[in-house]
Chains A and B, each alone.
Chain A
Amino acid sequence: MSTKIKYRIGKSGVFQGLTIAFAFACVIPLIAILLYIIKAGATKINWHFLTNVPKPVGESGGGIANALLGSMLIILLASIIAIPIGILCGIFLSENKKSKLAYWSRLCVDVLQGIPSIVIGIVAYFWLVKPFGGFSAISGSIALAIMMLPIVIRSTEETLKLLPDSLREAGYALGLPFHRVILKVIVPCGVSGILSGVMLSVARIAGETAPLLFTAFGNPYLSTDMRKPMQSLPLLIFNYATSPYNDWHDLAWGASMILLVWVLLLNIFTKLITRKWKVQL
């Protein structure tokens, strides 16, 4: 073999080796973070931790029940607001690819996706919190819903755009009206993609802190009143990790662990349903 070919084969080998090395390198931060949080947080988690509210400074024990329930309620309301709007908007964008309205709303969605979460938080503060006279979980949910929207819209649109036109035609040729073609043919065929977008958006907002700082604000007590301030996991972590007390640091580590597990489970669950509900075209 000539040296030239050997050189080229060598170069190819080095390149391949580099891609593999960097692929591994990507995994390192995740593993490191996981290990660290599990080490710091896992020992703090027990039934008591999950079912009790934080104790005042000086008393040991206490838990994150208020933050866990608060996060769930805030995310639930945000989902109720954002998912229907997002899916309908995504359907519009995929069915009217070339209309002017679609062009502009697609642009707006892209820009919305790029708006920093702190900005959404401050806008929610000036539009919702100040006029209605106080921090509330509802304003937090609305801020998070705004963050969810672009993810749900774009994933719905991208999923439905990939479905062949022949499917729509099959529906129309059987005399189906537009809404039935969408609801009975297009959406069921794209359900796995739409659902995975929804789950990812939930995972995305579960850890959002910035929009909640000025809206849901946080609350040391268990509260289910959406009109009042409410605690949530990221807020608890932010407030307690920056406090000077060791007990509170432990709470923050435990809460981080819970949040991490929550997001990981959502991601794994998304992968599973995507695989299970995928419609073979």
Chain B
Amino acid sequence: MESTIIKSVDYNAYFGTNHVVKNVNIEIPKNNVIAVMGPSGCGKTTFLRGINRMHELIPGATAKGQILLNNEDVLEMHPIFVRLKIGMVFQRPNPFPNLSIYDNVIAGYKLNGIKISKAEKDRIVEHSLTRVALWNEVKDSLTKKGSFLSGGQQQRLCIARAVAMEPEVLLFDEPTSALDPISTSTVEELFHELKSNYTLIIVTHNMQQAARVSDKTAFFYMGELIEYDDTKQMFTNPTDTRTQNYITGRFS
């Protein structure tokens, strides 16, 4: 039986008075890839950003309810600890433009002032870049700036940066929407590799991508979690008509 790593209980998120995520209850099993899909403005990104407390960085944003990480409520924890345990990759690749590729990978340690030995740094950099299939491409140019890479490489660098912190969960906010098809498929292959060590939650508005990469899929609509099931079940035999309409392309 798979163990649950993240569980949300009656989670609600607001922007001011605007209620964007409504009463979401979801259980996410460990070492799975979860796709979160839904039309624009359905609250899927807000929910994702709620998991590592990024949501509340926006002025006026608030949240209610519980999100349990290994039975500990992240809303009660200090956001800094939450974000060390739950890494995040964004829609647009955002490597630190002032840092080299090497320093970008260990940015979580370097910028946090966590002291580690040179050998340890080297190990983390090589290990993380290997995990995201970038090591061979950049091993001779580690001292170059991160912004020198192509978009797809930058995104993998950002994944490596998140992986380097050895989090338990990785959140992806439409990680391939700014990438070309080849880079997209490279990143998608990574998801299969990464799930042996981490739990991945991926927001996507690309249904094919959800179907390709995920074990379970959650469908959000108008701020509510409509349906949450095994991906195969969801795409072949959805129970809710709204899910069915969305999957068959009757609205987007």
Contact = CB atoms under 8 A, between A and B. Distances in A.
Interface of A: 98, 164, 166-177, 180, 184-185, 188-189, 279-281
B105 to A, nearest CB: 11
A37 B207 CA distance: 72
Interface in B44-67: 52, 54, 57, 59
Nearest to B88: A173
Interface stretch (B2-10, B93-101, B217-225, B244-252): B93-101
B94 A166 contact: yes
B107 A166 contact: no
A38 to B, nearest CB: 40
B77 to A, nearest CB: 11
A188 B98 contact: yes
Contacts, number: 73
Given A166-B92, A180-B112, A185-B111, A173 B54 contact: yes
Contact of A173 (B59, B90, B113, B147): B90
A175 B85 CA distance: 9
B90 A281 contact: no
23 contacts: A164-B94, A166-B90, A167-B96, A167-B97, A169-B94, A170-B94, A170-B96, A172-B57, A172-B79, A173-B83, A173-B162, A174-B87, A174-B108, A175-B82, A175-B84, A175-B165, A176-B80, A176-B111, A180-B111, A180-B112, A185-B111, A280-B147, A281-B97
A279 B148 CA distance: 11
Classify chain B: how many residues form its interface, as a range.
20 to 34
B111 A184 contact: yes
Contacts of B107: 174
Contacts of A164: 94
A170 B112 CA distance: 13
Contacts of B165: 174-175
A145 to B, nearest CB: 29
Contacts of B242: none
B90 A171 contact: no
Contacts of A177: 80
B145 interface: yes
